[in-house]
A and B are shown apart, each in its own frame.
Chain A
Amino acid sequence: MDEHIAGRELDDQQGAAAQGQADELAGLVAEAARGDGQAWSELIERYGRRVYALAKSRLRDSDQAEEVAQAVFASVFQHVSTGRYTEHGQFEPWLFRIAMNRIRDQIRRDARRLRIDGRPVQTLAHESASPPTVGDPGQLRLAIESMSEADQEIISLRHQAGLEFKAIAELLNEPVGTLLARHHRALHKLRNLLSVDAKTGVSHD
């Protein structure tokens, strides 16, 4: 009984903290909309590198990732400063939706260019000579790249962009439960791809 009450109190505290963060973000966006440079700096500081990491994980190119990050913030700036964005507590999903759209556009452009050039697309994780391990970022990246589009999407939004499942659900218009299951399956596939003992970090073939 005491545990149940303690659990409810913890949930209430977490809910209150989340609400406080949402209010703080809403205030920041409102100040940015009024043209406060400091508020914009804070938003860039908070989300710039997360957008970059998301773009880098999908595009595998640093320059393109930075271009996407700049384009996303330019678009956000245009919408917020001209009053075309109205704050309903969904700034984060909105910003990352813009980012995902930009990334998809870039992927389409790259695919078109590859078709024209006739170059090979990429080497996959299982083509690598050395056995893959969880601790090796390069191998992990290659393993992610060999996964399906949906799996890559959920992994990159959850980890590279650092979004909560609720925000991902709002972004993708899908139920949280579906996304949790997809994320779990994606981790399982990744683990199988890397064939690794998660506890010891020793790789198997």
Chain B
Amino acid sequence: MINNTEHDLAMESALENLARSDRAEPDAAFEDRIWNTMQQLPEQRIAGRRRKKSTAWIPFVTLACVGLMGFIVWMPMLSVDMDNLDKVASAPEDDFSADFLLSSFDAMDMLISDADEIDQSLDFLELQIDANEFELATNSTWQDLGGSL
């Protein structure tokens, strides 16, 4: 009668043999290959760091882009002479910003000059409306309304 311990020992022995054959499987250069892999690592890390440092150009390029954008957007506005609109009118035809400013100034002038006339017209209209309302309130009685029906 074979007990479990003997079974286990036989099984463990077989497993140890299997493990021994697995460990003996790689060739003699196995350890050298591991060592070589490890030796290559520091170089890779240094190369990685260098790649990281090369991102220092990003803020400078961003600033340059922002500056360029500012130049493109604001320079046409700065070229408008606010004191002399005739000079503005002589701006190149393809300069949309200058045209826009010029038309805006004209519209503003028109509005300012016509403002008094518009105010007077509005006052007159309000007076007429008030007079009509008063007339309607005093002259129109219930009897007049019934008679008309």
Contact = CB atoms under 8 A, between A and B. Distances in A.
Answer whether A and B are interacting partners.
yes
Contacts of B126: none
Interface residues on A, range: 35 or more
Using C-beta atoms within 8 Å of the partner chain, give the interface range for chain B.
Answer: 20 to 34
A74 interface: yes
Contacts of B8: 184, 187, 191, 198
B14 A134 contact: yes
A40 B35 contact: yes
Given A134-B10, A155-B15, A52 B30 contact: yes
Contact of B19 (A48, A74, A162): A162
B88 to A, nearest CB: 67
B25 to A, nearest CB: 7
B133 interface: no
B11 A137 contact: no
A14 interface: no
B10 A198 contact: yes
Contacts of A44: 31, 34-35
Given A49-B24, A50-B23, A159-B18, 20 more contacts: A45-B31, A49-B26, A52-B25, A57-B19, A66-B26, A66-B30, A69-B30, A77-B41, A140-B14, A158-B15, A159-B12, A159-B15, A159-B19, A184-B8, A187-B7, A188-B4, A190-B11, A198-B6, A198-B8, A199-B10
Q: Which 10 A-B pairs have the closest CB atoms?
A: A198-B10, A53-B22, A198-B7, A49-B23, A159-B15, A70-B37, A77-B38, A134-B14, A53-B23, A160-B19
Interface of B: 2, 4, 6-12, 14-19, 21-26, 30-31, 33-35, 37-38, 41, 45
Interface of A: 40-41, 44-45, 48-50, 52-53, 56-57, 62, 66, 69-71, 73-74, 77-78, 134-135, 137, 140-141, 155, 158-160, 162, 184, 187-188, 190-191, 197-199, 201
